[in-house]
Every structure is written in C-alpha cells, then in structure tokens.
Amino acid sequence: MNINLDYGNSKLEVDISDKNLLYIIENRSDEALPDPKEKLIESLKRPIGTLPLEEKIKDKSKVCIVISDITRAVPTKLILEALLPELLSYGVNKDSITILIATGLHRPNEGEELVRLVGKDIAENYNIVNHNAKDRENCRQIGETKGGTPIILNKVFLDSDFKILTGLIEPHFIAGFSGGRKAICPGISYIDMFRHFHGPKILESPNAPNAILFGNPFHEESTEIAKKAGVDFIVNVTINKNKEVTGIFSGDLERAFLAGAEFCLKANTYSISKEADIVVTSGGGFPLDINLYQAVKGMVGALPAVKKGGMIIIASLNAFSAPGGPIEITIALPPCSSFNWIPTSIAYRSRGFIMLSTPSLIIVPVFSSIFTLLVSGTCLIGIIMFNFSPSTVVFISLYNSSYKNMSYG
C-alpha cells in the first residue's frame, strides 16, 4: 500500500506491503468551521468562563498580545485579523498594542518570516517584539513557584495592563496539551526557568506525556506561573490534518483551555489492540518538522504504538536545524561528507539539560530499547537509545544526498 506522509510542504511516499500493515492511524477529518474569522469574533463576545472581551478591556491603556512563533501551526494571521480590529473598535489605541512573539528558546522571527507569520499589513503597522530568553535585562523576576522555579518573564508582558494569549491546542509530549499557559511557560520565559520545567524531574514523570493533564507536573507548574503573571484573556484554536480551524476556545485562562483540551482529546487519541514492530510516522509537515526538537514530538507520539525492541521511522524535512539555528545543531551532530558513522554522546545529568555553546537547548526524551531512524531532506540519522544508564543518548549521523521515497516490504 502507498501511504503519503506529510513532509515539509509536500508529501513523502511510503510503500508498505499489505501483509505487514497493522494500522493506519491519522488525525480524524474533523470538519473545518465555516467562516472561522467570524466565529473568532463571536468567541470574543461570548467567551468561556469570563466576561466579553469588550467589557474586560475597558480603560486599559497597554495591551500585550502573545503569539506563537513560526515553528507552530497556529493560524496566527487569522486570529490577529479577527482580534485587532475588534480591539480598535473597542477604543483601544493601535499604538498601545504590542504583539509579543513567544519564541521560547527559538530564534527571532523577522523579515519575510514575520510577514508569513502575521501578514504584511500587521507586520508593517503594529509594534511586534520577539522574546529573547537569553536577555536578562528585558526580563523580570516576580517570585517563585511552589516547586522553587524562579518566575522570570518578559517585561513587555509584565508591564502591560491587559494580557491576551493566543495559541493552538494539540497533544504535547510534555505538557499534555499545548496552548493556554504554554504561551508564557516556556514562550516568554527567561532561560534559567528551563532548567526546572525542562529538567529531569518533569521530563521523567509518568504523568507528563501526550494528552495527560491531571497530575502533570509541567501543566501544574506552567499554570501556576501563568496565573501569577496575570492573564486576562486567551484565544486558542484547534485544527484538523489540513490545518483548518475546527474549534475556537476564547475566554478564561483555565476554563477555555480545558474546554479546548477536552475537544482535542476526542479528535486526536486512538485505541489500539496491539503494538507494532515498526512504526512509520512523520514530523507533521511544515512548520511541525522545522527542526530536530520538533521532530522529537513525532517520535514520542509514536512510542505507545511500538513494541519494546521495535523501531520508529520518522520523516522530518528540516530536522537538521536546531531551535536556535543550524550552527548550534552542528555542535551536537558534526557534519560529515561520507557514509561514516559519527557518534556524539549527550548525557542528561541531575542538573537538568544540555546547553550548547551559543547556548541553545535540545531536549531528547529517552526511548528505552527502541531504535529510531529519522529521515530528512539532507541526512539520515539513527538515534539509538540505550538501557545502560538513566539517560545516555547517542546520536549517530549518516549523511546522504536525498531520500525521496521509502519502501518496506
């Protein structure tokens, strides 16, 4: 059987023998909302768990709208095209609005990339700021969480008197679901905070996988951080496999987010009767396969479906770009010009995570006794996860010019 995997902005054809095919699992084809822009405007007037946006924003003079960066499949342009005119119609001055890009530890979105993210008109007419997690001067500490995490966030957000979060709700391999509070943590957090909420205590928790919120330490800590920072309103959406809007969840930080997560759970989880020897999957296409870190999410999503000792094969076009840029990833994976195996060992110690020299952060969950093969446009990477220590990861890179099609029989 021929199966097409999302791969960048195109498809990668995979030929699998029918006798070896156990399941084909994909996102359900949820219907797209008709006229999503109008539905977004309606959600601002009839929000979940709070007053209409027009009533809440009265007499506010400094508005911050947090948006996701280019690595997320959020329909940000659509959301802003609905939200911004409404704010202006409420009497909010355009010059009092700042759009803050929640980059986390990713690079800034500028130039043509920014235009692609928000649209030309918004890029040229609104004040847009990229969060920089390494810039301590532009962040301020407002306390600590109950778990001892310092809360150090972007000053633009903290200094605003009305704060709106936008985002996409989908299963997330640490947070349970993305969206809601995640725009703040890690979106606009200072780098020191990552040692805590991306540290081993949270990453190794059995309650911190895809689609789990109850008892999830990341969800609980990030929600605590968001509440202490102050969030006045959220505008979150869900999408289908064609990246069309299927649900809109605007309103209270917690209640609107939980409504969206419940909706998303029904659309994105499946029951299987047995595990497979080999799982072939995708990073999700652009922008979900923009770098190795994002590709890891596809690997984690496949884990429950593969036997111990089995194999995950994932196609991810741009998996050789690090969150902060290609220079940083080459520190972890040295380039080569031949078919030589080059191992680079990365050990996760008790202090938390690996910082590359720039610095940048790469998080790689440990897949015990599973061989993972990652196919990208420029290289083939075998990632072998061993059992012999709590968290030793060995990367082995194997360059090849291209992998247009894959066949397994």
State the catalytic residues.
Answer: 106, 172
**SS3 sequence, 253-314?**
HHHHHHHHHHHHHHHHCCCCCCCEEEEEEECCCCCCCCCHHHHHHHHHHHHHHEEEEEEEEE
What is d(CA 81, CA 72) in angstroms, rounded to the nearest whole number?
18
- Side-chain half-sphere of 381: how many Cα atoms within 13 Å? 29
Q: How many CB atoms lie within 10 A of CB 274?
A: 8
177-196 exposure pattern, b = at least 16 Cβ within 10 A, e = fewer: bbbbbbbbbbbbbbbebbeb
119, 78 in Cβ contact below 8 A? no
The three state secondary structure string of 154-217 is: EHHHHCCCEEEEEEECCEECCCEECCHHHHCCCCCECHHHHHHHCCHHHHCCCCCCCCCCCCCH
What sections of 90-171 are H helices per DSSP?
111-118, 120-125, 155-158
Q: Is 167 left (phi over 0), alpha (psi -120 to 50) or beta?
A: left
* Chain mean position to CA 251: 21
Instruction: Answer for the pair 84, 97: CB distance below 8 angstroms, yes or no.
Output: yes
